[in-house]
Structure 1
Amino acid sequence: MMTNLFTIFDPSTNILSLSLNWLSTLLGLFIIPISFWLIPTRLFFFWNLVSNFLHKEFKMLIGPNYSNGSTFILISLFSLILMNNFMGLYPYIFTSTSHLSMTLTLALPLWFTFMIFGWINNTQHMFIHLVPQGTPSMLMSFMVIIETISNLIRPGTLAVRLMANMIAGHLLITLLSSMNLNVPSSISMVLILTMILLLTLEAAVSVIQAYVFTILSTLYSSEVI
C-alpha cells in the first residue's frame, strides 16, 4: 500500500536485492531493432532529419566559436533524455527522469565542465558576465552577488524543471486512474478520454522538456566560449 502519492516513483523492482529500476535508462536501446542501424528505414531517415535540425540549431546558438563535433554531445544528451521520458510513459516502467538523482547527474557535470573551461580559458570574459552592461557603479557589487547566485543555481533549476514536469503529468494520470475504480460507467468513459488526452500531452511534454534541457545547456556553454 502506498504511504503517499509520490511512492509510485520510488525505486522498488529488485531481484536478489539488486535494484533493476535504473536499467530502464538503457531499455530503449534493447528494443531498437538491429535493422535500424543497418538498413535505411523511414525511422532512420526521420531521426537523421531530427539530428540535422538539432545540429543546425545548436550550431547557431553556440555562435562563431563553434568547433566541429561540439554539437554531438548535445544531440546525444537530447536523445538520452527523450528516450527516458518516453519509456516512462509505458505502464510498469520506471521513470528515471522523474528523480533528482538522474536529472542532477546530467545537469551538474555539464555545468561544472562549462565553468572550469570558462574560468581557465576565458577568465576576463567570465568576469564581464558578472556585471551586466550599463549597471550603475553603486550597484556593481550587488549585481556581482546576484549574477553569481543565478549562475550557481543553474544546474539545480535544470534538474528540477525536468523532474517536476515528468512528475506532474504522471501524478495526474495516476489520480485519474485511481478515481476510475469508484465511479459510474458514464463518468468512467469521460475519465478514460481525459487520460488519453493527458497521455498525449505527456508525450508532447517529453519532447519539449528534452529540447528545453538541451537548449539551455547549449546557451550556458555559449556564455563561456
Structure 2
Amino acid sequence: MQDILQLVQDPTAWIALVTLVVMEVVLGIDNLIFISILTNKLPEAQRERARRIGIGLALVMRLALLGTVAWIVKLTAPVFEVFGHPFSWKDLILIAGGLFLVWKATKEIHHTVDPVDHKEDIVGQGAMLSFNAAIGQILVLDLVFSVDSIITAVGMTPHLPIMIIAVISAVAVMLLAANPLANFIARNPTIVMLALGFLLMIGATLIADGMGFHVPKGYIYAAMAFSALVEILNMAARRRRERNKTGH
C-alpha cells in the first residue's frame, strides 16, 4: 500500500501511466480490427457475445501475463540461432502470429472478392461450430497481441500497478469501441477490404519484427490513419453523388 501511495504522489509515475495507456490503446487497435471482422462472420445474434468474450479473453491473458512478468522478460532471451541470427520465444510467437494473420486476412479477402465460394468457410459450418471456431481464432491472436503488449509495457515502466491500470484501461476502450467499429465495418464493404489490408500489413510487420527487422509502429499507424482518412473522404464523396442523383 505504501508503494502505491508513493506512486500516486510521483508525477513521473502519472506521465508513465498516461503514456502507457495511450500505447496500449494503440496496440489494441490491431486486436480490435481482427475481432470486429471475424465476429461479423457470425450470425447477428452471436456477434456481440463473441466480441465480449474475445475482448474478455484479451484482458484475462494480459493480466495473467502481468502476473508472470519475470517469465515474460525471459521470452526475449535467445534460444537458438539461424545463420548467425538469434531467435527468442518472443520472436517465434510474433512470426507464428504474423503468419496466421496474413493467412487469415488473405482468406477473408478471397471470400470478400468471391462471396459465392464457401467451400472453405473460415468460421466453419453451423452456428455453434462457427462460434467456437471464431472464439478459438480470437484466442490465438489475443495471445500474440498480449505478449507484444506486455513486453512493451515492461519496457516502459518497472511498476506493476501502472501496467495493470494501463492494460485494464486499454481493454475497457476496446470493449466500448467494439460494437460501433464492427457495425461500421459491416455497413461499409469498402471499409472491410481496407481493414483486411491493415491486417495484412500488421501480419507482415509481426513477421518482420520476429525476424529481427524492426518496423517503427508509428509508421504503420500513420499509414493506417492516412488510408482511413482517404476512404472516409471517398465515402463522403459517394454519398454526396447519391444525394445529387436523388435530388435530396
TM-score of the alignment, normalized to the shorter chain, above 0.5: no
Ranked by relative contact order (alpha carbons within 8 Å, sequence separation 6 or more), the top structure is 2
Q: Which has the larger radius of gyration?
A: 1
